[in-house]
Amino acid sequence: MFNPAHPHEPLTSENSALVLVDHQVGLMSGAHDYSIAELKHNVVALATAAKALKVPIVATTTAGRSNPFGIPQ
């Protein structure tokens, strides 16, 4: 909850969350700044760190079981 007396309160596991949106292998091929292996490694490392710090993790996807791009079949 926002406290006007302390507007820049440090992030904690109680006031933050890690949100991962559409981190699917099929969509990673669209990234051009990193290799797919490096991107996947970085996402896994970020999620592992969040878990170790007990930060809530929310992961969303649009893909079905057989479609890596989330396109309705």
Q: Are the C-beta atoms of 24 and 64 separated by less than 8 Å? A: no
pTM metric for this prediction: 0.67
Domain boundaries, the chain: 25-60
The end-to-end CA distance of the chain, in Å, is: 42
Q: Are the C-beta atoms of 66 and 26 separated by less than 8 Å? A: no
**E strand or H helix at 46, and its extent?**
helix 36-52
pLDDT tens for each residue of 23-73: 776 666 677 788 878 888 888 999 999 999 999 999 887 666 555 555 555
User: 3-class DSSP state for residue 21?
Assistant: strand
Could you count the other beta carbons within 10 Å of the beta carbon of residue 44? 11
Distance CA 8, CA 5 (A): 9
